[in-house]
Structure 1
Amino acid sequence: MKSQGPNKTPNSDNSTGLGLDQLPEKLDAQTALLARQLAPILLCDKNEPFKPVAVGITHLRPGQPSPSFGHINPATQAPTGTDSILEYEIWWDGDIQHLYELEHVWIYLDENNAAIHVTASAHGKMLDMSQSIWQDRQVRLFCEPGKHAHSPTSAQVIERREALDKACSDLEGVGDILVQPFFAQQLAFLCPYDHYLAFDHLRNLRFKPTYSFEKSFDLSPSSLHELA
């Protein structure tokens, strides 16, 4: 799995609210090692057709906003004793209804760099993952089939079974290439035929979820080796 470093270039419209003087600092070797050790393990459906293909890391200080999740500040869910936050930006080439997707996991650290809390993204929200199981120093998070929103338990994913089955098998919700405002300039070359190809690709990836989370992606060893 290929990884990317934490340095981000602000968007031309500054849509994240970050100026040049607010950009997160580059990870030092010690923090990059910690990021590997604490990297989440994603548990996916046995029939999941996608996989995460890139991971970015940002080391956030108290109150510092996320460079890629600008509508909610991770600090708003920081428990007492939080000294900093490790943000994992997880790039998927698509979800079952549109091409490309960026999900997030936030691990909250105390002054000794011990993990004391975790939150993660789900359909644009930031949710508490404190019910999750930890394997050594790594949190294990469940991903919705086809959609990849995070949950702390498989039971919470299965609660959405009816909606997820429909999303993964029904043509009605199949879209094309998702063009967010902060990518609009870079994707200005897209034409209707490009979107048709995306639709056709997603149509052919439709599947029936099993809700057996046998496929796992450990984001720590090989995926983050370029960060230091």
Structure 2
Amino acid sequence: MTNWNADWIATYAPYLYFDRNEPFFPVRVGITVLEASGPSPSTRRTFEFKDPNLQCIIEYAIYWDYDIQHLYELEHVWVYVGRGSEVLDCDASFHGTHFKGLLRDRGNLVDGTHVKLYSQPGKHAFMPQADMFYLLPDLMVATDETAGRRGLLVTGPFDGVYSTDDETNRLVERYLKTFRFKPSMEFEEYRIDPALYTTWPELHKEVPLRIQNCLADIKEALRKEDSAHA
């Protein structure tokens, strides 16, 4: 479906919940509407349209300039829309894999079309219940002691689009450590501004430019810090 509009996409957009101490929020959302079996354009996943009631799958590729451990973050939410405009199901990404985003009793479906999802503090992977994050052994250290440890991340759809090196990774780690925090595990609702929506091809072109700008900002911020302590 190439003729989608922002109002229709907003009708099914997930309601996200971020930790009260979260330092980073989405800056762009790449939209793809899938209407037949095939691969996702933005991540390593393939879909099959076996349910005759399934009309389309809306893919929300949610982009952040920063994860607490690395420069850039891309997570996904997939909303399955039925032929009667109802929400049939939802999936949400989680560190390279995905889980069901819609609870079995559909108790986290708000206003009939919005799936309520919790974002892992600092790391942004999604779960339908916040208590599930306590199963992660590094829940608290990931946002604090190990902040910035992965530098400039190069994965998935951006393999070969840009590169990194030890010096870049060192600068990113140093910068992100200034944002380290302890999760409060108290979550506040965040609704995606439709102004953030774009097509996936446009977002794919935009990301390398955003990375360049972030690196320039990081170098300037650290230069000022060094000057202040000289």
TM-score interval for Structure 1 and Structure 2 normalised by the shorter chain: 0.7 to 0.9
Say if 2:115 is the partner of 1:142.
Answer: no
Greater displacement, 47-56 / 111-120: 111-120
Aligned equivalents of 1:171 and 1:123: distance in 2?
16
Displacement of 1:138 in angstroms is 1.4
How do 1:112-151 and structure 2 match up within 5 A? 112-131=84-103, 133-136=108-111, 137-151=113-127
User: Which of 76, 82, 89 is the matching residue for 1:110?
Assistant: 82
Question: 1:99-158 CA deviation, whole Å, 9 max, x = no partner?
Answer: 101100000011122211101100111211121612212111001111111000111123
Match of 2:41 in 1: 67
In the comparison of the two structures, how many residue pairs are matched? Answer: 195
Match of 1:95 in 2: 67
Q: Secondary structure at the match of 1:203?
A: helix
Note closer, same or farther for the CA distance 1:185–1:73 as it changes in structure 2 (3 Å cut).
closer
User: Which of 139, 142, 151 is the matching residue for 1:176?
Assistant: 151
Match of 1:155 in 2: 131
Aligned equivalents of 1:209 and 1:54: distance in 2?
24
Question: 1:85-111 CA deviation, whole Å, 9 max, x = no partner?
Answer: 010000011211111011000000111
Note closer, same or farther for the CA distance 1:148–1:74 as it changes in structure 2 (3 Å cut).
farther
Displacement of 1:220 in angstroms is 4.9
Question: 1:1-37 CA deviation, whole Å, 9 max, x = no partner?
Answer: xxxxxxxxxxxxxxxxxxxxxxxx53334xx432111
Note closer, same or farther for the CA distance 1:139–1:181 as it changes in structure 2 (3 Å cut).
closer
Unaligned ranges ≥5, structure 2: 200-230
Displacement of 1:170 in angstroms is 1.3
Greater displacement, 163-172 / 61-70: 163-172
Contact 2:13/2:114 (<8 A) preserved: yes
What RMSD in Å do the two structures reach over aligned CA positions? 2.3
Contact 2:148/2:176 (<8 A) preserved: no
Say if 2:195 is the partner of 1:219.
Answer: no
Aligned equivalents of 2:100 and 2:51: distance in 1?
11
Q: Secondary structure at the match of 1:167?
A: coil
Question: 1:177-222 CA deviation, whole Å, 9 max, x = no partner?
Answer: 002264344324x4543222211111111110010012x3211544
User: Which of 173, 184, 190 is the matching residue for 1:210?
Assistant: 184
Greater displacement, 60-69 / 176-185: 176-185
- What TM-score do you get using the length of structure 2 for normalisation? 0.76
User: Which of 1, 4, 12 is the matching residue for 1:38?
Assistant: 12
Residue identity in the other structure for 2:75: E
Aligned equivalents of 1:109 and 1:192: distance in 2?
44
